[in-house]
A and B are shown apart, each in its own frame.
Chain A
Amino acid sequence: MRAFVYQRVADVRAATTAGAAGQGVRFIAGGTNLLDLMKLEIETPLRLVDISRLPLKGIEVTPEGGLRIGALVTNSDLAADPAVRCQYPLLSQAILAGASGQLRNRASVGGNLLQRTRCFYFYDCTTPCNKRSPGSGCAAIGGFNRIHAVLGTSDDCIAAHPSDMAVAMAALGAHIETRTADGSGRTLSLDELYRPPGHTPHLETNLAEGELIVAVVLPPPPRGAQIYRKVRDRASYAFALVSVAAVLAADASKIHDARVAFGSLAPKPWRSIDAELALIGQLPSREIFETAAEAGLKGARGYGHNDFKIALARRMLVAVLEQLAGRR
């Protein structure tokens, strides 16, 4: 691990000021991903700003009837929160499907959103990787790419975002709240948070230097039933090959509302508005679910070893929608 200066901050303003003080400054909260990457010298911050003591650990009901989740709420606390378990069960399911009990106890909500890909080549410093070493090439394209993305990729990077939690949040239409060094803040959808890889896959978000995620805001609970389903190589403690977060509000004759997001298919949690639009207003049936799955995977491109993900994601979405429709 490269040497760094450690700085503990007591309030958000001090954090954003320290965060904007120059290049090489990184915030650390749980550190479960960042420290791992620092040990491998993939991350080499000069200064770590410890935000773990900031008062961003509350979960509160918003005036609109949603939830505002502090960025430092642990993954464990969020999954175990009574309001989340009752009103947003797919979020609890998604969090509990990720990592281990130990990691969830330490990992923060904000850090989960900002965790980096588990692409083998990103981790292997002996291989080219445009995300780790811009301009060096992509070893995954043409390499062992079974775990890689099929949607939203570029010719420079096919790494997938590994989060489970973020997939559920994408389906729920979550927004993040940030603060910057000048004291201002903004609200971003998850789609606005993440940058497409394009020619600069090392730039993963649209956050400015020193901009700190302070909360995630969930809209009021959606109508209908919710499911998070994850397919992986082991039954527990493994990243997804494909995951699906879906919400369906339907009666026998009509789908009133639908939310669909895929995990481990793209460089970001992939909400599929196309799949949702294919469902809303239609008569629930296997045919319409297949049409929605087709719409959701439109434009997907396999890279050899990961071709199976396209068919798997389609079938998972159909199965999840059938299960949700059966629950109505």
Chain B
Amino acid sequence: MSQFGTNRRTFLQSAALAGWALGAESPLIAPIAGIAQDTARSGGEAMQVALTVNRERWSLVLDTRTTLLDALREHIGLTGTKKGCDHGQCGACTVLLNGRRINACLTLAVMLEGDDITTIEGLGAASTLHPLQAAFITHDGFQCGYCTTGQICSAVGMLAEADAGWPSRITNDVAVSPVLTDAEIAERMSGNLCRCGAYPNIVAAIKSVASRGLE
């Protein structure tokens, strides 16, 4: 948050002001106009896009090159989604797009007009943790914490996939809905790297939620 010279709460409040309800007659406000100018200076194409993030609607003017990851972090101010490799290899930027887990770094924001995006900030709050957030704390499913938000968003998506009966690479018979064993969880979570190697506890955290159901 240091780049904004303010604390997280103040920043989030001011960032919230940068969005406006769709359909309202609103002029571009200063920070967004600034972005459009930056885009023009770099030879980029600016475009207006409406995104729904954590059930809030945002109207942004973005350089067409802006990834969903950069839109979330740099334009909306939701920095819970992390940038690791920026090439779809580490999973730190995992968010839910229309309920499905994706890499936000390999998705253009302008392609997501009208889509429903859920980030770690939309899963739970400090006072009302999502069951997976609570389980990661209970099972010590992290060390440095950098991959954690991606791990949790990925786990939310993964459990929904398992609930829908999707097989995995290690499912013996792909025609049969598998049981979510430790090995199945590890295989399904292989798109999320943890350099600290907290994998055993991550699996334990996810398994504890899987076994009692999400609801």
Contacts and interface: CB of A to CB of B under 8 A. Distances in A.
Contacts of B45: 3-6
A24 interface: no
Contacts of B91: 100, 102
A234 B53 CA distance: 35
Interface stretch (A29-37, A58-66, A140-148): A29-37
B180 interface: no
Contacts of B192: 100
25 contacts: A3-B45, A3-B63, A4-B65, A5-B45, A6-B110, A28-B111, A31-B108, A35-B107, A38-B65, A39-B87, A79-B174, A89-B174, A93-B169, A96-B174, A101-B157, A101-B158, A101-B161, A101-B189, A102-B88, A102-B103, A103-B88, A103-B106, A105-B97, A106-B107, A236-B187
Interface in B3-19: none
A127 to B, nearest CB: 18
Interface string A193-237: 000000000000000000000000000000000000000000111
B175 interface: yes
Nearest to A29: B111
Interface size class of B (residues with CB under 8 A): 35 or more
A62 B67 CA distance: 38
Contacts of B97: 105-106
A106 B105 CA distance: 12
A236 B94 contact: no
B100 interface: yes
Interface in B155-189: 157-158, 161, 164-169, 171, 173-175, 186-189
Select the residue from B67, B102, B113 with max chain A CB neighbours within 10 A.
B102
Given A6-B47, A101-B161, A86 B175 contact: yes
Interface in A90-124: 92-93, 96-97, 99-103, 105-106
B44 interface: yes
Contact of A79 (B86, B110, B167): B167
Given A31-B108, A106-B107, A36 B87 contact: yes
A164 to B, nearest CB: 10
Interface string A8-42: 10000000000000000000100110011011000
B23 interface: no
Contacts of A6: 45, 47, 64, 108, 110-111
A215 to B, nearest CB: 22
Contacts of A99: 191
Nearest first, the 9 A-B pairs at minimum CB distance are A100-B191, A236-B190, A237-B190, A6-B64, A3-B44, A92-B174, A96-B169, A80-B166, A105-B100
B213 interface: no
Nearest to A236: B190
A76 B106 contact: no
A50 interface: yes
B26 interface: no
A85 interface: yes
A52 interface: yes
A214 B186 CA distance: 35
A39 B169 CA distance: 30
Given A6-B45, A85-B174, A105-B157, A32 B106 contact: yes
Q: With a 10 A CB-CB cut-off, give which of B107, B154, B165 has the most chain A CB atoms.
A: B107
B190 A5 contact: no
Interface in B180-214: 186-192
A125 interface: no
Interface of A: 1, 3-6, 8, 28, 31-32, 35-36, 38-39, 48, 50, 52, 76, 79-80, 85-86, 89, 92-93, 96-97, 99-103, 105-106, 235-237
B91 to A, nearest CB: 6
A128 to B, nearest CB: 23
A92 B113 CA distance: 31
A39 B86 contact: yes
Contacts of A89: 173-175
Nearest to B169: A96
Contacts of B88: 32, 36, 102-103
A35 B64 CA distance: 12
B128 interface: no
Nearest to B44: A3
B64 A93 contact: no
A41 B192 CA distance: 25
B43 interface: yes
A5 B64 contact: yes
A187 B102 CA distance: 32
Contacts of A50: 110-111
Nearest to B49: A6
Interface string B56-68: 0000000111010
A184 to B, nearest CB: 28
